[in-house]
Amino acid sequence: MSAATDLHAPAAPQSPAPRPLPERSPQTPGSSPASARRTGSAAAHGRSRRRIRGPFRSGEFWRTLLTHLITPLFLGTGMALAYLGAFHAPSPHHLPVAVVGQGEQTAAFAQSLNDAADGDLQVRTVGTADQAQQLVRDRDVVAAYAPGEDQAALYVATAASASDKEVAQQVLGPIAFRQHLPLQTVDVVPTSGQDTSGQSIFFMLVALSVGGYSSAVAIAAATAKVSYLGRLLISVAVSFVIAALVTIVVADIMQAIPGHRWGVLMLSWLYVSTISLLGVALHPILHRWTTPFLVMCFVMLNFTSSTGIFSAHTAPAFFQGLSTFWNGAAWLRAVQTLVYFPGQPFWWDILRLGLWLVVVGGLMGLTHWFSIHRTRVVDEEIPVDEDEEGIAA
């Protein structure tokens, strides 16, 4: 009875178990809690320093870093060499000018200018002021100097080159001063009212070039498994869109180019297509180096030889030579002729643009065949790196 009662009786409440005390770091005799904290902090700091120093001790880290830095180092150095090499000290080299007048006195005066210039000028004589203006319109001479009894006139064409106008004023202006004649500058072919600097066509070239090489890598990566004909058609179509957008901005929104929009659009399409197709052609071989290569071709060498800032007559010999066959100079000269010098032939400029396109199209076919038949370049599906997407002129 007593045992059953004990079995059914409620259990007595138990007291909660005591919480364990936090462990304390062992202290040496005579040490204080503050000293222990300093010891623990120093140990944690040491571990943090080891984690920071860890990557810097790896050779793979430095190889990866240097590989990624090659592109910005190349672009920075290349831009400095190209732009400063072409633009830092422009000076005339055989600058063609004319002197208006007849007789032996005019011929002697022209010869004295040639001798004093020491190769900077190439002076010729012309009989009348009308003939001198026509030479300037035809771009046979950069400027023509016409001394008179009361004043002297300087005939120039800003539409051909605004920088040549300034050079002519600097070279021929002192002559009028020595002759005690006021100098009047006559612009026989001025630029449009919305292009007072005379640089709008050049900046249009910059926009087309950046759009062309920026789209090339994106097209190459997105169309890696597309056929040769498909990639070609996509590149040409995207090039037309870029050319159309830039032409609308320059001609319609800014109104920097007076008229001839369709002609300018066709020339721009031809130019951008060349850049885009070249990038698509080279990407299976150059991979991440495609964009630096295009920047070198169509920024460093292209803008400096295009004669858009300084004409070939004031450029160093290297860039002067490039302007004879580079496609940027051909495009700019063709657009200048179409817009400001109607009636003058520019078939040579169109021929240069066409030859560039033919060569690039052939290169695209060659690299496509090469990537199929050689296993070491068969992997065309190379993603675009972040540093490629962020590069701009």
69-74 contacts, C-beta under 8 A, 24 or more apart? 71/288, 71/289, 71/291, 71/292, 71/387, 71/391, 72/387, 74/292
In a domain, 373, yes or no: yes
In a domain, 88, yes or no: no
**Is 377's pLDDT higher than 50?**
no
Residues 217 and 314 in one domain: yes
Residues 360 and 213 in one domain: yes
In a domain, 234, yes or no: yes
* Alpha-carbon separation of residue 263 from 164, 244, 267, 347 (angstroms): 26, 11, 6, 13
Terminal-residue alpha carbon distance, the chain: 103
**Is 289's pLDDT higher than 50?**
yes
Decide which of 115 and 51 is more confident: 115
**Is 7's pLDDT higher than 70?**
no
Q: How many domains does the chain have?
A: 2
97 in helix, strand or coil?
strand
Provide the CATH number for the domain around residue 173.
3.40.50
**Is 42's pLDDT higher than 60?**
no
In a domain, 391, yes or no: no
Average pLDDT over residues 207-222: 93
* Percent of all residues in the chain with a pLDDT value above 90, rounded to a whole number: 60
Average pLDDT over residues 172-200: 91
Condensed to tens digits (0 to 9), the pLDDT of residues 315-339 reads 999 999 999 999 999 999 999 999 9
Lowest average pLDDT, out of 66-70, 211-215, 365-369, 389-393, goes to 389-393
At 8, is the pLDDT very low, low, confident or very high (cuts 50, 70, 90)? very low
Show which of 122, 151, 185 is a domain's final residue. Answer: 185
Whole-number pLDDT of residue 253? 95
Residues 176 and 137 in one domain: yes
Tell me how far apart the alpha carbons of residues 121 and 119 are, in angstroms, rounded to a whole number: 6
**Which backbone phi and psi does 334 adopt, to 5 degrees?**
-65, -45
CA neighbor of 360 nearest in space, from 179, 234, 232:
232
Condensed to tens digits (0 to 9), the pLDDT of residues 72-129 reads 999 999 999 999 999 999 999 999 999 999 989 899 999 999 888 888 999 999 999 9
* Percent of all residues in the chain with a pLDDT value above 70, rounded to a whole number: 81
Q: What range does the domain containing 281 cover?
A: 197-377
Condensed to tens digits (0 to 9), the pLDDT of residues 232-273 reads 999 999 999 999 999 999 999 999 998 899 999 999 999 999
Residues 269 and 180 in one domain: no
Whole-number pLDDT of residue 2? 43
In a domain, 21, yes or no: no
pTM of the model: 0.80
Mean pLDDT of the chain: 85
Average pLDDT over residues 122-145: 95
